[in-house]
A and B are shown apart, each in its own frame.
Chain A
Amino acid sequence: MAKKLSLGIFFGSRCCEHEVSIVSALQLACFVNPFKYDVTLVYIDRQGAWYVGSALWKLETYLNFDPRKSGLTQVFPDLTARSRALVSAKRDRLLAGETRRVEVRLDCVIPVMHGLHGEDGSLQGMLEMMDVPYTSTGVAGSAVGLDKIMMKQAFRGSGFPVMPDTAASRREWQHDPEGLIRHIEASLPYPVFVKPANLGSSIGVSRAENREELSEALALGFSLDRRCLVEKGLDMPEEVNCAVMGYDGDITASVVEMPLRQGELLDFKTKYLSAAQGGGMASLSRLIPAPISQEETALVQRLSRDIFWALDCKGVVRVDFMIDRATRQIYVTEINTIPGSLAFYLWEKTGGGLKYRHLIDRMVGYAMKAWEDKDANITGYDSEIISGAISAQLSGAKGAKA
């Protein structure tokens, strides 16, 4: 029998959606095929300390997280390329000094984090340094995907339909609030949305109908982030989401869903109850497939695939759209490079239906492929620069200063 792959599920971390991440990760861990993988849960607490251990499998552990609890071992990632080790250190014998132990070596990592320090390319950068395959989008795509300002610029630059917007910084707001508001009013009509650039969730997002509300919205936004996106709003748009999976040229779009907001829920419940056959609250808060035309569904799926390609994504992402009820114009809202629950509920209803277990296999496969592609890139780093500089020193030339 082939050796089992050591799979690390990374979750938690210093961000607003810490708890969502815990739930998503434990859910995912339950679906991993135990005959194919050895799963290690790797929890990063709110202070940024890393833990492994059996206690991480229990939700109660996270209620009042106590690192001293039995079944938890603090580990340190070894960043040496290809070491892929999570190392613990303890003094187990008198006079023996500190013993470093390799708790686990990871063959592949599934990051299940939302927002900063996990979805924003920072963790991905660390995983690239460690040279370990991982299932999420790479550094650049993750970073662009999380920064709402850059994301909009990338979308617009690639020709995707987006709402008009403008960007603002805390410095502008502090030095000249009037000027900033005038500038926004000159570029966008009310209503507008103010969104902190780097908060993955909808925290801090507010809608402004007039100057007073805009001022309040900006004050809130800049208390949370240094940069904010101000975007033209749509009145009661239809919202649809589409998940995309793949790597490089191999890209698949899922069935399109329509998430429902609290207010809308009742109206739609009576109208589309038959469509949400799954039952339970989860299926009641969204409609799968979304009640939009076939052409619109196809367009949403095509745009989703193109965006996936444009940001050089990997694994599973979810692209969110707004549809103007009046004009039926479709706008791209944002991309989530690590969507909640990895959008497994969409894949289960796509095509013949992809089980979560198999979705994980696919994601690991893409991670491995991407790593192999990178590995194939690297050729010699042969350079004569140092030896050249040394001979320059020896011969008295001040070449190094040039």
Chain B
Amino acid sequence: MNAVLDLARYLLWFAPAVAILPAGKLLVQYFQLSSYQFGGFFRTITRQRARVFWPGLALTLLSVLFTFLASLSSGWAWWLEALLSLAAAGLIILSGAVIGFFSYQERKAKKRLVITPRIKRLGVAWLLVALIVSAFLRQLFVMGISALLVPMFLPLWLIIAAIVMWPAEKGIQLLYQADAKRILENYKKSGLTAIGITGSYGKTTVKNVLASILAEQYPTLASPLSANTPVALSRCIRDELGPQHRYFIAEMGARHPQDIRVLSRFIKPALGILTAIGPQHLETLGSEDKVRETKYALIAGLPPDGFAVFSNDGRHVSASYRRAQVEKALVGEEGDDLWAEDIVLSPEGSTFTLRGKDGLRQLCETRLPGEHNIRNILLAAAAALHLGVSAAHVAQGIAQMKSVAFRLQASRHPRGYITINNGFNTNPAASLKALEVLAAYPGRHVVVTPGFIELGKQEEAANRQLGRDMAAVAQEVLLVGVRRTQPIREGLIEAEFDENSIHTFPSLTEANRHVNQAYGEGDVVLYENDLPDQYS
């Protein structure tokens, strides 16, 4: 008989450890959104203090309450106490689920939590840590102490679990990466050419244009949108690279100083493209000089018979060009290896003549809007011409190229207004280009933006500048978020923008509602930097 009571007491004791799992769903989502990086995760937790801690506190309150209520029954008939303990345990777990539901639902998650094998492993580790802590607390012989401490320090157990799992996860990643490398090298033996693209911005567009051109010649695989880390590239290679492919184009992103070097050793590209060097990810990389060093690792990692393409920016990239030891091409300005002439811009795209130092003259037509995209096209064209694609096929590939998803994709809303989406990983220079594109459209110009993120010390200044730039182009500005967008507002007002035309919304959902109600035929709405959930 007492065994049943003991079991019920045990269950009540360990119930809070189980309940934290559903209750902490939002926290796990933040961890996933931070790409499982502790630095970013801690920054998010600090930024989102209230959101992160209220589920734990609410659960603490409820679990202490239910434990207390159950304890009132001690001394009653054993079966009644057992029953009440069980009920309390059940209610605690249910509370966890309800809290999790509301804390997660409260935010219309733009990027939902994806239950990957890694998340499952983390969940099990988290549960084990909480159970071990509960078991340890049982040695203290303090009634209800687990109900108090376990939910209260809910994020701590997750962090401990993540730290414990870190070596195992790293090991699993390395295994996958080794396998991806094996596959890549296997196909390289039968003629696969790997191409690496890096730069502070433009790399996704260059990748897409190059993929479009090379596909005119041979089957080509380009890494998917923003898969620019070893983990994402490993997955792409293992899942998608096949014997049919003759080109593999890898976009290489750098958040940390060693990133490109690591990627370059992994992919071992025979051809590298450096698009641009600007103030991006300064929070983690430091100065622009550091950015340049980081990006140059791609060029330094090329084999002696490799080929490198650089954008002539007159600054960091041009300096990298001069430094490169392999066969190389500089594009952009007249007299370079490749440049554009007779550029005619229009909202629906542009035409230009591709000119080469060797006398090349090829008329090209593109649906990518804006002058900045012509530079991106030149970079891709230089690489393709080196790989033996004819000028006519280069032009055809350029013409086939659709506007990149999320990158200045213009579409017409049923209500009549045109939306342009620049809502992905933007930076000051790209925003400026997006604003130029917006300016190329006739009509009333509206910008919806939450401002820039992750620019470190420059963030406030960049946002202020964004405000000034928008003032020159936009007639209406919709700011998403109050605190973070303050510098943008100041910039707008500085540039004598009508304060009545600035609308501030707590979230993108509200801003969207306004767009839908207020705009119609003749309006052009630019979505500038649509933030993931952990900011805002």
Point out residues on A near B: beta carbons under 8 Å. Answer: 78, 80-83, 85, 87, 96-97, 99-103, 105, 379-380, 382, 391, 394-395
- Interchain nearest-CB distance for B412 vs A (Å): 9
- Interchain nearest-CB distance for B513 vs A (Å): 19
| B303 interface hit (Cβ, 8 Å) | no
With A80-B244, A85-B243, A96-B179 as contacts: A102 and B187 at CB distance below 8 Å: yes
Which A residues lie within 8 Å of B182 (CB)? 96
A82 with B191: CB separation less than 8 A: no
Bound complex: CA A394 to CA B413 (Å)? 11
With A83-B219, A99-B186, A105-B191 as contacts: A394 and B414 at CB distance below 8 Å: yes
Bound complex: CA A80 to CA B396 (Å)? 20
- Least CB separation from B218: chain A residue: A82
B179 with A85: CB separation less than 8 A: no
Interface residues of B in 175-226 (CB under 8 A from A): 179, 182-183, 186-187, 189-191, 217-219
With A80-B219, A82-B219, A83-B219 as contacts: A101 and B414 at CB distance below 8 Å: no
A100 with B217: CB separation less than 8 A: no
| B9 interface hit (Cβ, 8 Å) | no
A82 with B243: CB separation less than 8 A: no
Bound complex: CA A144 to CA B400 (Å)? 36
Which A residues lie within 8 Å of B183 (CB)? 99
A85 with B399: CB separation less than 8 A: no
Contact of A100 among B179, B219, B243, B246 (CB under 8 A): B243
A101 with B244: CB separation less than 8 A: no
B179 with A102: CB separation less than 8 A: no
- Interchain nearest-CB distance for B308 vs A (Å): 23
- Least CB separation from B192: chain A residue: A102
| B242 interface hit (Cβ, 8 Å) | yes
With A380-B400, A394-B414 as contacts: A87 and B218 at CB distance below 8 Å: no
Bound complex: CA A342 to CA B399 (Å)? 43
B219 with A102: CB separation less than 8 A: no
Other 20 A-B pairs with CB < 8 A, given A83-B219, A380-B396, A394-B414? A78-B243, A80-B219, A80-B244, A81-B219, A82-B217, A82-B218, A82-B246, A83-B218, A83-B243, A83-B246, A85-B243, A96-B182, A99-B186, A100-B243, A101-B186, A102-B190, A102-B243, A380-B399, A382-B400, A395-B414
A102 with B414: CB separation less than 8 A: no
Which A residues lie within 8 Å of B400 (CB)? 380, 382
Interface residues of B in 388-423 (CB under 8 A from A): 396, 399-400, 414
- Identify 5 residue pairs between A and B in the complex whose beta-carbon atoms are under 8 Å apart, listed by A's number: A82-B218, A83-B218, A97-B179, A99-B183, A391-B414
- Interchain nearest-CB distance for A75 vs B (Å): 10
Which B residues lie within 8 Å of A382 (CB)? 400
In terms of DSSP, what is the predominant structure of the interface of chain B? loop
Which B residues lie within 8 Å of A81 (CB)? 219
- Interchain nearest-CB distance for A81 vs B (Å): 7
Which B residues lie within 8 Å of A380 (CB)? 396, 399-400
Bound complex: CA A101 to CA B192 (Å)? 12
Contact of A78 among B179, B217, B244, B399 (CB under 8 A): B244
Bound complex: CA A78 to CA B244 (Å)? 6
Which B residues lie within 8 Å of A97 (CB)? 179
Bound complex: CA A83 to CA B243 (Å)? 8
Which A residues lie within 8 Å of B187 (CB)? 102
Q: Which 5 A-B pairs have the closest CB atoms?
A: A83-B244, A102-B190, A80-B244, A87-B243, A102-B243
- Interchain nearest-CB distance for A58 vs B (Å): 25
- Least CB separation from A103: chain B residue: B190
Q: Which of B179, B187, B191, B219 counts the most chain A CB atoms within 10 A? A: B219
With A82-B219, A83-B219 as contacts: A105 and B186 at CB distance below 8 Å: no
On chain B, the number of residues with a Cβ less than 8 Å from chain A's Cβ atoms is: 20
Bound complex: CA A382 to CA B242 (Å)? 27
- Interchain nearest-CB distance for A377 vs B (Å): 12
- Interchain nearest-CB distance for B241 vs A (Å): 10
Which B residues lie within 8 Å of A103 (CB)? 190
- Interchain nearest-CB distance for B435 vs A (Å): 27
Which A residues lie within 8 Å of B190 (CB)? 85, 101-103, 105
Which A residues lie within 8 Å of B179 (CB)? 96-97
- Least CB separation from B241: chain A residue: A100
Bound complex: CA A395 to CA B412 (Å)? 13
Which A residues lie within 8 Å of B245 (CB)? 83
B191 with A102: CB separation less than 8 A: yes
- Interchain nearest-CB distance for B43 vs A (Å): 39
Q: Which of B182, B242, B396, B399 counts the most chain A CB atoms within 10 A? A: B242
Which B residues lie within 8 Å of A80 (CB)? 219, 242, 244
Which A residues lie within 8 Å of B217 (CB)? 82
- Interchain nearest-CB distance for A95 vs B (Å): 10
A85 with B244: CB separation less than 8 A: yes
Which A residues lie within 8 Å of B244 (CB)? 78, 80, 83, 85
Which A residues lie within 8 Å of B186 (CB)? 99, 101
Bound complex: CA A87 to CA B245 (Å)? 12
Bound complex: CA A100 to CA B244 (Å)? 11
Q: Which of B190, B191, B400 counts the most chain A CB atoms within 10 A? A: B190
Which A residues lie within 8 Å of B218 (CB)? 82-83
Bound complex: CA A63 to CA B186 (Å)? 35
- Least CB separation from A88: chain B residue: B243
Interface residues of B in 38-97 (CB under 8 A from A): none
- Interchain nearest-CB distance for B213 vs A (Å): 14
Bound complex: CA A315 to CA B56 (Å)? 78
- Interchain nearest-CB distance for A92 vs B (Å): 10
Q: Which of B186, B219, B243, B414 counts the most chain A CB atoms within 10 A? A: B243
Which A residues lie within 8 Å of B396 (CB)? 379-380
Bound complex: CA A26 to CA B28 (Å)? 65
- Interchain nearest-CB distance for B264 vs A (Å): 24
Q: Which of B179, B182, B219, B244 counts the most chain A CB atoms within 10 A? A: B244
Bound complex: CA A380 to CA B396 (Å)? 8
- Interchain nearest-CB distance for B181 vs A (Å): 12
- Interchain nearest-CB distance for A50 vs B (Å): 14
- Least CB separation from B402: chain A residue: A382
Bound complex: CA A312 to CA B353 (Å)? 38
Interface residues of B in 231-277 (CB under 8 A from A): 242-246
Which B residues lie within 8 Å of A102 (CB)? 187, 189-191, 243
Which A residues lie within 8 Å of B189 (CB)? 102
Which A residues lie within 8 Å of B399 (CB)? 380
Interface residues of B in 412-445 (CB under 8 A from A): 414
- Interchain nearest-CB distance for B398 vs A (Å): 11
Bound complex: CA A239 to CA B189 (Å)? 53
Which A residues lie within 8 Å of B191 (CB)? 102, 105
- Interchain nearest-CB distance for B57 vs A (Å): 44
Bound complex: CA A102 to CA B219 (Å)? 14
- Least CB separation from B367: chain A residue: A382
Bound complex: CA A82 to CA B189 (Å)? 18
Q: Which of A82, A99, A382, A394 counts the most chain B CB atoms within 10 A? A: A82
- Interchain nearest-CB distance for A371 vs B (Å): 13
- Interchain nearest-CB distance for B371 vs A (Å): 23
- Least CB separation from A79: chain B residue: B244
Bound complex: CA A238 to CA B42 (Å)? 95
Which B residues lie within 8 Å of A395 (CB)? 414
Bound complex: CA A382 to CA B217 (Å)? 18
- Least CB separation from A86: chain B residue: B243
Contact of A101 among B219, B243, B246 (CB under 8 A): B243
Bound complex: CA A391 to CA B183 (Å)? 41
Bound complex: CA A41 to CA B237 (Å)? 31
Bound complex: CA A103 to CA B242 (Å)? 13
Bound complex: CA A281 to CA B183 (Å)? 54
- Least CB separation from A87: chain B residue: B243
Bound complex: CA A394 to CA B219 (Å)? 34
Bound complex: CA A338 to CA B243 (Å)? 31
- Interchain nearest-CB distance for B474 vs A (Å): 28
Question: Please, what's the 1-or-0 string for B320-356, where 1 marks a CB less than 8 Å from any CB in chain A?
Answer: 0000000000000000000000000000000000000
- Least CB separation from B183: chain A residue: A99
Which B residues lie within 8 Å of A105 (CB)? 190-191
- Least CB separation from B393: chain A residue: A375
